Structure 1
Amino acid sequence: MSVAAKAAVEPGEVWDIAPQTEDVIRAKIFGIRRGTSPRVIDIFSGCGGFSLGFLRAGCEIVAGLDIDPEAAASHAFNFHGVEVPSNRDELLQLAADITKLAPHYLPAHLGRKGTGSNEFADILIGGPPCQAFARIGRAKLRQVAEHPEAFLLDPRSNLYLRYLDYVRELLPVALVMENVPDILNFGGRNVPEEICETLKQIGYIPRYTLLNAASYGVPQFRERFFLVAIHRSLGIEPSFPLPTHHSTIPNGYKYLRATALAKVPDHSEYFVPAPAGQGPLKPFVTSRRALADLPVITEHRTDPALMRRRKMSERIPYSTYVALDDFALTMRDWKGLPKSIASCDGHLVRLTPRDFETFANMKHGGDYPHALEVAEAIFLRRLSKMDSPPRRNSCEYISLRSQFVPPYDQEKFKNKWGKLDPKLPAKTLTAHLSRDTYSHIHWDSRQGRAISVREAARLQSFPDSFRFVGAMNAAYRQIGNAVPPLLGYSVASHLLNLLRAYSFSKP
């Protein structure tokens, strides 16, 4: 039977909760109430951003499943101490394709033969791949398939059905899903409404909303969909954490939210508005605060050979001239991971010498059209200093200009470049960092470069002791695909408070 068929039930039908199912759920909630660390399985875990949030909240991370071999290796190393693989074959052994791994085989896959599949996980978390739901994914699919609705056939968009299979088999007390806002408007469909209908039918109370990471102490504007569901036998109404930080969301993100919410039914049983902040809130974490204590990197200009030789694992001392604030202290001391005291790793940056001077001279918040103006001005200054400048549009002139001015169409690349504003959180980091870090140019003009791997990790709120397996591009991809750990922590803490408040006297 197909995944889709297994997920289907009659419209409006709610499955009865079998006595043995209720016993399993009550046994799990009893353990949580007693103070036992809730056991978490992270499906589509990536390198473990979501897992880090639940770890900090006091959970035990039982396993992370992901098809990306480097991401799977990062998760295995950081949460279970699995030695970093030395070759591609070993990497692939750690990856898990859940389209091929049936849920009832999970105990054997994790080396726990003889254990029932519903016995070793209290909470299920994860974010099914978002590429098919994100607009950029749709555009690429149109180009490949030359069909305006090709994205509806992308198998990645149906992986949430496999996630629901794992819910049925593992019987978690609660589950949390994360995705891009466009999942609310996928080819005219509101996918979360369909997910919630299925969850209700199999015995859960689901609710969903949109949260922005900047409102929870992440130095990044990042709008994301979250769904929380709690087993119906507990009678707990799911809800979402109150913002901890004040953040005025830029208009672009407001538009993104409004566009996504346009497909929410007027009287949805499942959607709840994002919580509003109450009382005095902390100021949002700016990109300056996020990066100021990290090492100053100028080797890309002074000694590029050294930068080429540098390894991801090489540790460099922190800057000592910056007073540490609460964000930096959190990044250096994350519950469940070793404390980072004097140095950290991940100080690799792209070597793009043509653009270093342009980066240095761009204004904060500047985009690609602005970068073109800056680069053109640098080129013209160079011409003015030449005794015999080449004739305009000559081959020599064009060749010289290409050494200073990037060739990209400013209409297509308008938002592809961006220099961080030190007074604001960064804009959204994406997996495209693995191919182009120009979307996040360091605010410190003295350094004149795009952000390093460790700086990207900081903007995503990854702690400094977290190690990314793989080369620079693999690390950028893992970071951009991840749930910001501090946002995951807020969601996790709120959920655990709901579960620990459960009263066994409830019917």
Structure 2
Amino acid sequence: MKHRRRTAMESNEKLAKCKLERLASGAIPKVLELCSGCGGLSLGLKTAGFELAAHVESNDEANATYALNFAPENPAQTKQWAISRDMVAQSMSDLITDFGLAGGPREAFDVLAAGLPCQAFARIGRSKLRSVTGDEDAFKNDPRASLYRRFLEIVDETRPLAILVENVPDIMNFGGHNVPEEIAEGLRVRGYVTRYTLLNAAFYGVPQLRERLFLVAVDATLDVIPQFPSPTHFMELPRGYESSRAVALKHVKDVGSHFSPIPSPAGGLPSSIGTESALADLPFISDHLRDTAIIRKRKVADKLPYREGITPSTYAHLMRDWPGFSASENVSGNVVRITTRDFPIFGRMPRGADYPVALRIAQQLLEEKLQRENFPPRPGTIRYKALEKATIPPYDASKFPNKWWKLDPDAPSRTLTAHLGKDTYSHIHYDGRQKRMISVREAARLQSFPDGFEFAGAMNASFRQIGNAVPPMLALAVSKALMETIEQAIAGRDSANRRVA
């Protein structure tokens, strides 16, 4: 047994040295991404200089978007990039054949990345699972919660030089269990050095408060320690973040943990990006106020011109001019969710207001409607109920205080979720004249997707893909740090070779 382990370790060390030598000769690091979604993490990796060699994603619409933006121009290969694949059942050998790659699974990839599904780990996802199944521990039994074990098997099958995993902070407190620590320990016995931490997107130039866990591991033979990017922007996090962090960090050990201190913004950094800086130059959408049929017929792929008379911010210029994903005079994604009852409420809501405020405004609007009646109906009558239904949203403010929220133009947005287009007004446009929630393109901007990045599928599918994605600018910061770690390993190898010579 010991002999077999020693032989395996020697084989892994030899493989790692061969891969590092290939990269040292100028080869581009090849990435396999699991649970890629529509490609937020992929875009960051690609922009940092990595090659997207293959990906695995089970959602059809996300795969269509991924192929639309990343597939080679060869039509035969494009088809493969759009095929949905199950991470659990997918053979790595078949994957290499499908994507036309050379070598076997252990030779084909230098980096293994994964945005493992977070629904079972996130607190909001846990409550949804409980409500659907009636099982208090449904989140523990969700098959998505054990995908990390299959992930470790794929590590064994592909033996990458480096590993990158993204997830929600609550994965560190999954029913009292610290999953990243278990992953790190599993990687340690496989010969990897691992670190994980929390990063907030607003500290890295994304106009959104989005806290996420990142885990980075490198083969121990590289003789380097994984590093995380330093913040590029500063803001005071709202109240509640410290307590949320405390819950997530509850099961991080003081001694012997693979957790790295959360990077803190240094003094003198530029302020975080506000929503107005992010969105002001995008099309002014008010068609729904004149004729809802116009906007209902509009497709996600249909394009409108940028607003005239608005000087794009530095952030907007970045979104317009992202290398390989630039846009010229027009931009797609100008579709919004429509409920005519709510337009007047949106218009009157103060910026930064939430659902209880919206409900008070709706009640005020109802009173105004009643006063305009020649014979104001009494509560309980058919006429009164009709006016009430046409004016006041049906949600209980005590249960859904955050169901609605109007963007603050001077601050980053709240976290975008996959349910943005389905059941919430959590992101209402700050401009009261437009009286609407944000569009698909505006959601993409808040998530830092460039304007030339196109989304496949209808409105709700596009919102879901955006909400599930890693913000590309945050992914870019992490990917640059990973590339620097690999370059450090190459420099160390070259230095050692010179000493031997």
TM-score by length of 1: 0.92
Query: 1:39 Cα deviation (Å)?
Result: 1.4
Match of 1:198 among 186, 191, 204: 186
AA aligned opposite 2:464: R
- Which amino acid is 1:329 matched to? H
Deviation at 1:126, TM superposition (A): 1.4
The answer to whether the aligner puts 1:454 opposite 2:441 as a matched pair is: yes
What TM-score, normalized by structure 2, do the two folds share?
0.93
The structure-2 alpha-carbon separation of the partners of 1:365 and 1:235, relative to structure 1 and needing over 3 Å to count, comes to same
Q: CA deviation at 1:98?
A: 1.1
AA partner of residue 277 (structure 1): P
Aligned to 2:375: 388
CA distance in 1, matches of 2:460, 2:208: 20
AA paired with 2:435?
G
1:414 paired with 2:405, answer no
Which secondary structure state, in structure 2, belongs to the residue aligned with residue 431 of structure 1?
coil
SS of aligned partner of 1:346? coil
In the superposition, relative to structure 1, how do residues 254 and 501 fare at CA in structure 2: closer, same or farther (>3 Å)?
same
Bigger shift: 37-46 or 448-457?
37-46
* Range with greater deviation from structure 2 (447-456 or 157-166): 157-166
Q: Does residue 41 of structure 2 align to residue 54 of structure 1?
A: no
Task: Note closer, same or farther for the CA distance 1:144–1:381 as it changes in structure 2 (3 Å cut).
Answer: closer
Contact 2:325 2:450 survives alignment (8 Å): no
Q: Which of 106, 126, 145 lines up with 2:95 in the alignment? A: 106
Distance 1:19-1:252 versus aligned 2 partners, 3 A rule:
same
Residue from 316, 326, 346 that aligns with 2:333: 346
Q: Identify the match of residue 297 of structure 2 among 294, 309, 325.
A: 309
Q: Per the alignment, in what secondary structure is the counterpart of residue 425 of structure 2?
A: coil
Matches within 5 A, 1:278-317: 278-317=266-305
Is the contact between residue 80 and residue 98 of structure 2 (CA under 8 Å) also seen in structure 1?
no
Q: Distance in 1 between matches of 2:270 and 2:86?
A: 41
Which residue of 90, 111, 116 maps to 2:104? Answer: 116
> Does residue 233 of the first structure (1) align with residue 227 of the second (2)?
no
What residue in structure 2 maps to residue 180 of structure 1? 168
Task: Indicate the SS of the match to 2:427.
Answer: coil
Which residue number corresponds to residue 158 of structure 2? Answer: 170
CA contact (8 A) 2:320 2:326 kept: yes
Q: SS where residue 418 of structure 1 aligns?
A: strand
| Alpha-carbon distance in 2 for matches of 1:420, 1:268 | 42
The aligned amino acid for 1:116 is G
Confirm whether residue 378 of structure 1 aligns to residue 369 of structure 2.
no
Contact 2:80 2:99 in 1 (8 A): no
Partner SS state of residue 282, structure 1: coil
**Cα pair distance change 1:451/1:82, threshold 3 Å:** farther
Structure 1 residue 360: deviation in Å? 0.8
Matches of 1:152 and 1:325, distance apart in 2: 45
Provide the rounded CA distance (Å) in 2 between the counterparts of 1:457 and 1:250: 23
- Per-residue CA deviation, residues 354-385 of structure 1 (Å, 9 max, x unaligned), is 00110110011111110000111111112112
Structure 1 residues not aligned, in runs of 5+? 1-8
Q: Secondary structure at the match of 1:175?
A: strand
The amino acid of 2:110's aligned partner reads D
Q: Report if aligned partners of 1:33, 1:499 keep a CA contact under 8 Å in 2.
A: no
CA drift at 1:16: 7.3
Structure 1 segments of 4 or more deviating over 4 A?
14-17, 81-85, 90-93
Q: What CA deviation, in whole Å up to 9, does each residue of 1:67-125 have, x standing for no partner?
A: 0010011111200157999xxxx89971110111133432123234x621122221111
Matched, 1:21 2:12: yes
Secondary structure of residue in 2 paired with 1:410: coil
Verify: 1:133 aligned to 2:121, yes or no: yes
Once the two structures are TM-superposed, the CA of residue 449 in structure 1 deviates from its matched residue by 0.2
Aligned to 1:3: none
Identify if the C-alpha distance between structure 1 residues 135 and 91 changes in structure 2 by more than 3 Å, giving closer, same or farther: farther
Comparing 489-498 and 147-156, the one that deviates more: 147-156
SS at match of 2:197: strand
CA-to-aligned-CA distance 1:128-148 (integer Å, 9 cap, x gap): 100000112222332344332
Q: Kindly indicate whether residue 65 of structure 2 is the aligned counterpart of residue 74 of structure 1.
A: yes
In 2 relative to 1, CA 506–192 (structure 1 residues): closer, same or farther, beyond 3 Å? farther
Contact 2:55 2:81 in 1 (8 A): no
Contact 1:48 1:64 in 2 (8 A): no
Aligned residues: 490
Contact 2:349 2:358 in 1 (8 A): yes
Give the aligned residue type for 2:54.
A
2:461 to 460, 474, 480: 474
Which of 7, 25, 32 is the aligned partner of 1:41?
A: 32
Query: Could you give the per-residue CA deviations for residues 271-319 of structure 1, whole angstroms, max 9, x where no partner exists?
Result: 0111122352121001111101100000011121111111111111111
Matched, 1:96 2:88: no
